Structure 1
Amino acid sequence: MDSIMSKLRNLDAYPKINEDFYSRTLSGGVITLASSVVMLLLFFSELRLYLHAVTETKLVVDTSRGETLRINFDVTFPALPCSILSLDAMDISGEQHLDVKHDIIKKRLDTHGNVIEARQDGIGAPKIEKPLQRHGGRLEHNETYCGSCYGAEASDDDCCNSCEEVREAYRKKGWALSDPDLIDQCKREGFLQSIKDEDGEGCNIYGFLEVNKVAGNFHFAPGKSFQQSGVHVHDLQVFQKESFNVSHRINRLAFGEYFPGVVNPLDGVQWTQVAPSGTYQYFIKVVPTVYTEVSGHTIQSNQFSVTEHFKSGEVGRLQSLPGVFFFYDLSPIKVTFTEEHNSFLHFLTNVCAIVGGVFAVSGILDSFIYHGQRAIKKKMEIGKFS
Structure 2
Amino acid sequence: MASMENVAKGVRTFDAFPKVSSTYTTRSSQGGLVTIVLSVICIFLIWTEMGSYFAGVEEQQFSVDDSIGWDMQVNVDITVAMPCVMLHVNVQDTSGDRLLAAELLEMEGTEFDLASTHELTIESRADADDDLQSVFSRAKVAKKFKKTKKSHPNAPACRIYGSFKLNKVQGDLHITAKNLGYIDSSRSYVTPESLNFSHVIDELSFGDYYPKLENPLDGVAALINTNYFRYQYYLSIVPTMYVGYGGRNVVVTNQYAVTEQPTTQINPSHPPGIFFKYDIEPIGLTITERRVPFWQFLVRLVNVVGGIVICTGWLYPLIDSMWDKWANRGRPIPHENQTLLDKGLKRDD
Asked if TM exceeds 0.5, the reply is yes
The correspondence for 1:35, drawn from 15, 18, 38, is: 38
Distance 1:370 1:321, change over 3 A: closer
Aligned AA (2:177): P
Tell me which residue corresponds to 1:87.
Answer: 89
Tell me which residue corresponds to 1:207.
Answer: 162
Over the aligned positions, Cα root-mean-square deviation in angstroms equals 3.3
| Greater mean deviation of Cα atoms: 51-60 or 280-289 | 51-60
Tell me which residue corresponds to 1:108.
Answer: 109
Residue 300 of structure 2 aligns to a residue whose secondary structure is helix
Tell me which residue corresponds to 1:358.
Answer: 308
Residue 64 of structure 1 aligns to a residue whose secondary structure is coil
**What CA distance in whole angstroms lies between the structure 2 residues aligned with 1:329 and 1:15?**
70
The aligned runs of 1:133-282 (5 Å cut-off) are 198=154, 201-223=156-178, 233-235=182-184, 238-243=187-192, 244-257=195-208, 263-282=214-233
Distance 1:259 1:248, change over 3 A: closer
Residue 234 of structure 1 aligns to a residue whose secondary structure is coil
The correspondence for 1:283, drawn from 234, 237, 250, is: 234
| Matching of residue 69 in structure 1 with residue 18 in structure 2 | no
TM-score when scaled to structure 2?
0.70
Shift of 1:235: 2.8
| Greater mean deviation of Cα atoms: 328-337 or 272-281 | 272-281
TM-score when scaled to structure 1?
0.64
Gaps of 5+ in 2: 1-15, 115-148, 343-349
Shift of 1:204: 0.9
**What CA distance in whole angstroms lies between the structure 1 residues aligned with 2:101 and 2:61?**
40
| Matching of residue 60 in structure 1 with residue 63 in structure 2 | yes
Please say if residues 57 and 337 of structure 1, whose CA atoms lie closer than 8 Å, have aligned partners that are also in contact: yes
Residue 48 of structure 2 aligns to a residue whose secondary structure is helix
**What CA distance in whole angstroms lies between the structure 1 residues aligned with 2:224 and 2:309?**
66
Identity of aligned residues (%): 29
Aligned AA (1:279): R
Residue 274 of structure 1 aligns to a residue whose secondary structure is coil
**What CA distance in whole angstroms lies between the structure 2 residues aligned with 1:259 and 1:336?**
18
Tell me which residue corresponds to 1:324.
Answer: 274
Shift of 1:203: 0.4
Residue 63 of structure 2 aligns to a residue whose secondary structure is strand
Tell me which residue corresponds to 2:130.
Answer: none
**What CA distance in whole angstroms lies between the structure 1 residues aligned with 2:210 and 2:186?**
44
Residue 253 of structure 1 aligns to a residue whose secondary structure is strand
Distance 1:257 1:345, change over 3 A: farther
**What CA distance in whole angstroms lies between the structure 2 residues aligned with 1:210 and 1:75?**
17
| Matching of residue 333 in structure 1 with residue 283 in structure 2 | yes
Please say if residues 277 and 318 of structure 1, whose CA atoms lie closer than 8 Å, have aligned partners that are also in contact: no
Residue 279 of structure 2 aligns to a residue whose secondary structure is strand
| Matching of residue 306 in structure 1 with residue 258 in structure 2 | yes
